[in-house]
């Protein structure tokens, strides 16, 4: 493996040892490298993999939390993390949400409180939604494995539930919590955004506001109609009413998450989800390789591209011809 200006194999191994021993700054540095992507991120992944293989498989729970902006995700995550640390766990949070107050957003009170938590047993980290080499799809699982290798768990991924990439990030969690709030990002809008189809647990936040009961009824109705199937058949997502600002309902959310995970484990589906997570990551990484090959080929200004730019061919025809050229015709 080639040495990188940012470290080299020896330095990364040292960082990993220090992070595994509990040094927060070393973990922070590794997460930055993972977020940047590329060869160094791959090198870290290889080392974490080697280390994990020599340990007992820890199987930290992965919990996705998503919903429209303003539904109160970060505030609820704060209460969940409080509950987890109180019961002796070492949760880690990855906030893939440009507006998350967990990591420097709008709500100062929350930020201070979360800084207090972060100074203790929990680890909170934000990840930009843009600018990754290879994209969020690669950086998120790599960061989660790093957290797990350093003894953290449960692992919470908070994403804003707008945008296909962002919703897909939660698709591979063990349990996905979808939040709606009366008026803002309500049940109907969440359904349109494709959020409800990934829900294992449903939360109606701002339960004290007008319209909360309507939102709950809408969700019940969609469940009755079979429009929310969850990620797992034979599982009807529980609907929990919360008031994230006071923390009311947060314990029930945590309990519902544990109940769902126990259900997955009992039915053998936990392992199936983990396999599907690896399958998806292999596919995402192949996509990155193929995209690179396509961009490189286009940069040679092939005739098919020139014809499309001149309007002599449609983009569809040019793309079909170039794809045929790029792909190997060997049988699998």
Task: Map the footprint of its own copies across residues 231-290, applying CB under 8 A.
Answer: 275, 278-279, 281-290
Q: Does residue 123 contact residue 28 with C-beta atoms inside 8 Å?
A: no
Does residue number 309 form part of the binding site for its own copies (CB under 8 A)? Answer: yes
Choices 2-10, 66-74, 84-92, 249-257 (CB under 8 A): range interacting with its own copies:
66-74
Q: Which is nearer to its own copies, 158 or 281 (CB)?
A: 281
Q: Is 131 exposed, middle or buried (0-12, 13-18, 19+ CB in 10 A)?
A: exposed
Q: Which is nearer to its own copies, 20 or 89 (CB)?
A: 20
What's the CA gap between 206 and 181, in Å, rounded?
A: 6
Least Cβ distance, residue 83 to its own copies (angstroms):
28
Burial 32-54 (b: 16+ CB within 10 A, else e): ebbbbbeebbbbbbebbeebeee
Of residues 30, 38, 271, the one with CA closest to residue 144? 30
82-121 residues in contact with its own copies (CB under 8 A) are 98-99, 105-106
> One symbol per residue from 151 to 170: x for binding its own copies (CB under 8 A), - otherwise; what is it?
---------x-xxxxxx---
Q: Which is nearer to its own copies, 39 or 208 (CB)?
A: 39
Least Cβ distance, residue 205 to its own copies (angstroms):
16
Least Cβ distance, residue 209 to its own copies (angstroms):
15
204-233 residues in contact with its own copies (CB under 8 A) are none
Least Cβ distance, residue 328 to its own copies (angstroms):
4
Which residue among 72, 185, 230, 237 contacts its own copies (CB under 8 A)? Answer: 185
Whole-angstrom Cα Rg for the chain: 22
Does residue number 21 form part of the binding site for its own copies (CB under 8 A)? Answer: no
Give the H/E segment covering residue 27. helix 24-36
Does residue number 131 form part of the binding site for its own copies (CB under 8 A)? Answer: yes
Residue with tokens 């992965």: 62
Phi, psi of 287 (to 5 degrees): -55, -40
Which residue among 51, 129, 229, 259 contacts its own copies (CB under 8 A)? Answer: 129
Which residue among 6, 9, 36, 189 contacts its own copies (CB under 8 A)? Answer: 189
Does residue number 1 form part of the binding site for its own copies (CB under 8 A)? Answer: no
In the β-sheet with 238-241, what is the strand arrangement from edge to edge? 123-126, 92-96, 155-160, 62-67, 175-180, 201-204, 238-241
Q: Which is nearer to its own copies, 24 or 324 (CB)?
A: 324
What's the CA gap between 315 and 309, in Å, rounded?
A: 8
Does residue number 58 form part of the binding site for its own copies (CB under 8 A)? Answer: no
């Amino acid at each position: 493996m080639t040495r990188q200006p940012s470290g080299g194999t020896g330095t990364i191994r040292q960082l990993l040892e220090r992070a595994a021993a509990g040094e927060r700054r070393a973990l922070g540095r590794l997460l930055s490298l993972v977020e940047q992507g590329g060869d160094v991120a791959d090198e870290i992944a290889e080392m974490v993999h080697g280390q994990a293989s020599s340990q007992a498989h820890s199987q930290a729970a992965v919990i996705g939390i998503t919903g429209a902006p303003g539904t109160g995700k970060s505030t609820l995550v704060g209460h969940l993390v409080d509950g987890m640390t109180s019961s002796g766990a070492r949760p880690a949070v990855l906030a893939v949400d440009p507006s998350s107050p967990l990591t420097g957003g709008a709500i100062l009170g929350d930020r201070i409180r979360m800084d207090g938590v972060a100074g203790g047993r929990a680890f909170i980290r934000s990840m930009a939604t843009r600018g990754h080499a290879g994209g969020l799809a690669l950086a998120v699982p790599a960061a989660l494995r790093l957290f797990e290798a350093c003894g953290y768990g449960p692992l919470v991924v908070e994403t804003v539930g707008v945008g296909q990439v962002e919703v897909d990030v939660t698709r591979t969690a063990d349990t996905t919590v979808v939040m709606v709030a009366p008026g803002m990002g309500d049940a109907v809008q969440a359904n349109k955004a494709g959020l409800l189809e990934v829900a294992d647990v449903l939360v109606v936040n701002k339960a004290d506001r007008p319209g909360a009961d309507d939102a709950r009824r809408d969700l019940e109705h969609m469940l009755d109609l079979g429009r929310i199937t969850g990620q797992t058949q034979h599982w009807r997502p529980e609907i929990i009413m919360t008031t994230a600002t006071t923390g009311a309902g947060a314990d029930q959310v945590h309990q519902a998450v544990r109940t769902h995970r126990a259900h997955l484990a009992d039915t053998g589906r936990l392992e199936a989800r983990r396999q599907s997570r690896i399958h998806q990551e292999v596919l995402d990484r192949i996509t990155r390789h193929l995209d690179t090959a396509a961009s490189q080929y286009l940069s040679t200004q092939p005739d098919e591209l020139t014809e499309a730019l001149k309007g002599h061919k449609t983009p569809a025809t040019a793309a079909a011809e170039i794809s045929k050229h790029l792909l190997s015709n060997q049988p699998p």
